[in-house]
C-alpha cells in the first residue's frame, strides 16, 4: 500500500481516527507521518502520569515525591514504584510516607508478634496490655460492655505492677 500523502513510498505508519461512530484510517510513509504526527500532542511519559496523579491525590505523597535518600540516592517515587527500599537509612528518610503504608498493610505501626524467649517480664506485660487495650476498644465499639468490663479489670491487674508509659 502506498502513502496517502506523497503517493510514492510504501505506507508503514497507519493511523486510525475515531470520531463518534465514524472510523477513518490513514496510511503514510515514514517521512509524511513525521509531518502529520507533529500536529498531535505528545503523549506524557509514565513518570509524568505518576507525578500528575500524585499531585492530585495526596499532598503528603506530593511532598514525599521530592525526597531522596542521601546515602543510596533512591527517590520516594522509585520506592513506591519498585516496592523496595535501597538502604537502612531509607526508613528514616521516608518515615513520613512509610508509616501510613505500614499501618495500612499491617493494621499497626508497632510490632505485636512473637516475643523472644529471653525478653523480660516487663516487655511481655507491656505487649499484653497493648493487646488488651485493643480488645477493649473493639468491645466498646461493639457496645459489648460486659466484655469491656472484664478486659478493663485485666488491664488494672496487669498495670498495677508496671508503668507502661501511658
How far is it, in rounded angstroms, from Cα 5 to Cα 126? Answer: 79
Please identify which residue in the block is written with the cell numbers 505528545: 42
The alpha helices in the chain, defined as continuous H runs, are: 30-37, 46-57, 59-64, 76-82, 90-93, 95-106, 121-141, 145-159
Mean pLDDT calculated for residue range 141-152: 91
DSSP state of 13: E
Question: At how many degrees (to 10) do helices 121-141 and 145-159 cross?
Answer: 160
- Distance, in Å, from the CA atom of 13 to the CA atom of 32, rounded to the nearest integer, reads 9
Q: Whole-number mean pLDDT of the chain? A: 81
Judge whether 109 and 97 are in contact, CB under 8 Å: no
Give tens-digit pLDDT for 56-104: 666 666 677 788 889 899 988 888 888 888 898 888 888 887 887 777 7
| DSSP single-letter state for residue 71 | T
pLDDT of residue 149: 93
Burial of 78 (0-12, 13-18, 19+ CB in 10 A): middle
pLDDT at 113: 66
The band of 10, judged by pLDDT with boundaries at 50, 70 and 90, is very high
Q: Is the dihedral of CA 60, 58, 94, 68 positive or negative?
A: negative
Count CA atoms closer than 13 A to 122's CA, side-chain side.
4
Phi-psi region at 85: left, alpha or beta (left = phi > 0; alpha = psi -120 to 50): beta
Amino acid at each position: 500500500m502506498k502513502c496517502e500523502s506523497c503517493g510514492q513510498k510504501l505506507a508503514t505508519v497507519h493511523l486510525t481516527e475515531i470520531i463518534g461512530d465514524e472510523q477513518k484510517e490513514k496510511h503514510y510513509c515514514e517521512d509524511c507521518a513525521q509531518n502529520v504526527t507533529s500536529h498531535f500532542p505528545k503523549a506524557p511519559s509514565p513518570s509524568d502520569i505518576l507525578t500528575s496523579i500524585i499531585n492530585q491525590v495526596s499532598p503528603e505523597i506530593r511532598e514525599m515525591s521530592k525526597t531522596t535518600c542521601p546515602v543510596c540516592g533512591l527517590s520516594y517515587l522509585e520506592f513506591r514504584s519498585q516496592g523496595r527500599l535501597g538502604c537502612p537509612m531509607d526508613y528514616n528518610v521516608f518515615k513520613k510516607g512509610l508509616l501510613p503504608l505500614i499501618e495500612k498493610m499491617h493494621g499497626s505501626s508497632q510490632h505485636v508478634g512473637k516475643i523472644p524467649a529471653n525478653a523480660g517480664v516487663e516487655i511481655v506485660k507491656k505487649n499484653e496490655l497493648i493487646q488488651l487495650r485493643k480488645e477493649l476498644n473493639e468491645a466498646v465499639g461493639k457496645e459489648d460492655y460486659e466484655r469491656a468490663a472484664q478486659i478493663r479489670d485485666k488491664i488494672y491487674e496487669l498495670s498495677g505492677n508496671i508503668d507502661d508509659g501511658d
